[in-house]
Structure 1
Amino acid sequence: MTSSTTTLAEPDGALSAGERTDGPLVRLPRRDGSLHALRLGAPGAWVDHPGRYASREVFAAAHVVADPFGDNTPGAPAAIDWDATLAFRHELFRYGFGVAEAMDTAQRNMGLDWAGTQELVRRSAAQARSVGARIASGAGTDHRGVLTTPDEVLEAYLEQVAHVEDCGSQVIVMASRQMAAVARDAADYAHVYGRILEQVSEPVVLHWLGEAFDPLLAGYWGSGDVDEATATFLAVVREHAAKIDGVKVSLLSAEHERGLRAALPEGVRLYTGDDFNYPELIRGDGTHHSDALLGAFAAVAPAASAALTALDAGDLATYDAAMAPTLPLSRHLFEAPTFHYKTGIAFLAWLNGHQRGFTMLAGLQAGRDAVHLGRVVELADAAGLLRDPELAAARWTELAGVLGVEG
């Protein structure tokens, strides 16, 4: 049996945000079998931000809360706690974010079925309208089984686009696994996306999701070479710019994003999906900047709101100071295998009292281990993002005992 040791060292590379000496004590596991003792600090003094930001358009891609009484075993229809799911979206609205709905953060292709997707978009769009918030929702092809031709993929896309538009939401055209499987070359992508863009009612967001998030999307836009794929992508955007509000790119390369946003037609936004480098990309280089559509913002909304408020005021120093502590947390949440980042976001929502249990559709709460989750506690504390440290400590301790790390 591995013996455990305990220290009272602060988190690696960061101090607790609240500088408390009387906060609750938690013990967090390390890979070497030891326990690291941490006294949680006070949460940040976050302020609500009614309405949108002046300098950037920002969406948070929200997760869904599983019904703890539902059958959410792998392959089962999604059983969703609707009250908690919608309440979490209100939490994002209160900090000035639009909601990017039914995206990969909401477990598309990883537990959220088409029936659940339809109801999620319908409910969330109605909620956004009721408070005057912005919403955009993912339209893909995941409600269909095996598709064999690009035209079948197109038909599937148009069915989902119609549903999103009928609900009163802006459309995000998501990358499609079926498209990646059947497309023969760049011309097939140009054909399918061109037809979609000819038929949408309002400008959409095009989503390019990299294979780090979904390995089945390797070679999207007709090539495994990123430069060739980017050329195809840009050709589609330039031809249909009037129907494109922006592009959401999740390739986790700041260099690629800077080059792409400089090449976009005037009026087409780049919504960063880079959860590793978003502070610098949103800040910009003085000539170009990125807007944002990020799963990370579902985890760091209060701190990101403070940063964006400062950016609106032209206060770059405060922007940098507010955003900087969120980045270690985001990079940890999205570490490889990146597609399991959803587990950490749901875990943090549970620690913060936004849901009754740490359970997910398709049992995805098992996607990260105890050491990873303990580090989430540590980094969220350092960023001042544990809104009730006593509750977070109690919940972590209960879970740690179940996981066998004697928290």
Structure 2
Amino acid sequence: MDTIQYDNYIKILKEELITAMGCTEPIAIAFAAAKARAVLGQMPEKMLVRCSGNIIKNVKGVIVPNSGGQKGVEAAAILGAVAGNAELELQVISQVSPTEIEQTRVLYSQGLCQCELEEGTENLFIRVELSAGKETAAVEIRTKHNHIARIERNGQILFEQPDVVLKGAGDKSKLNIQDILDFAKIVNLDDIREIIGRQITYNSAISAEGLAHKWSSQVGQMLIQSGGNDVRTRARAAAAAGSDARMNGCALPVVINSGSGNQGITCTMPVVVYAKERGCDDDTLYRALVLTNLLSLHQKRYIGNLSAYCGAVSAGAAAACGIAYLDGADYDVIGKTLINTLGNVGGIVCDGAKASCAAKISSAVDAGIMGYEMARRDLFFPFGEGLVEKDYETTIQNIGRVGRLGMKSTDVEVLNIMIGK
């Protein structure tokens, strides 16, 4: 691998594996609101949040962290304006007092904030508009959850940048299975040790929290209680439990993948569980997680961060490939693991962030492990059948096309059902 490609992959990991607290969509709304409050320079008298459908879908059913159990777009925005520190970006509401929680609850009941659907825009769009007397401020987030695209004050644009990642960012169009595998084998661990180490630490902590306490629908706990203690069940439970806690407002931070904490947890925990079971050293685990994270990002770049396609599928398939790497799998076993998983559960519908995400994560991880168990025995779904076509890369592209284009109408109908249209 040449130096340019090597450096590109390092950039991608540094940009994508960032820390967030709570479900990423309400946090992004709180971030935009906190930034708008800073621009306004005072507490607003009115707030309007305009969001794309996928943002509304992913905020409606989850508890906003550090909010005292409050849910929804309005609660996230008000808490961001009341207590948010925009300098912390996706940890914007990590420092909230009980007084600020109560203030948020009161302002919510008074109707301070309204939410409107922004139609005809990209899937990741948030615009927070604040006013106090004659003073106004607005902040727009596009493309990525922490990417501020525009800042306005009193109708004047103070800052604007394109709806793409900043100059010098990693180029995900260069990702491919073979190069990802090669990179995982040769990467200087000093270049990624901090990133991957933080991912293991944070995501393991929220997984442990989900297994130890009664969060949400308790999918992770249920799997252990009902399914025994084999490594496959523990891998599913560890991933699901992190989502159990996160969807119910647990304030512990996570390291995300493809803009999603659930996907970050799903990439991490099955590989961590299998590495411990196999007695793998830290270096092997780190390399397996490099592979897993990049393979998940590779799949999602064809779909986009937000769609009607459940991202847990991509992460679960990638995690199974990380498990395969722990066992010394080659390119073909990893490629067959991907197509076996995607040919099975590709297309699970995303109907917003909520308790059932944990169950979907469990299903995706289980399908991924089955896909690997097939692949290691040289069993795979034949090329040319269904969406499995020509080769591994083409199959990933086919799944991406279905998620990005084919499920557009599904996304609209899911949103219409959720908002009562």
Q: Same fold (TM over 0.5)?
A: no
Which structure has greater helix proportion?
A: 2
Q: What TM-score comes out, normalization by structure 2 length? A: 0.28
Under a length normalisation based on structure 1, what TM-score does the superposition of the two structures give? 0.29
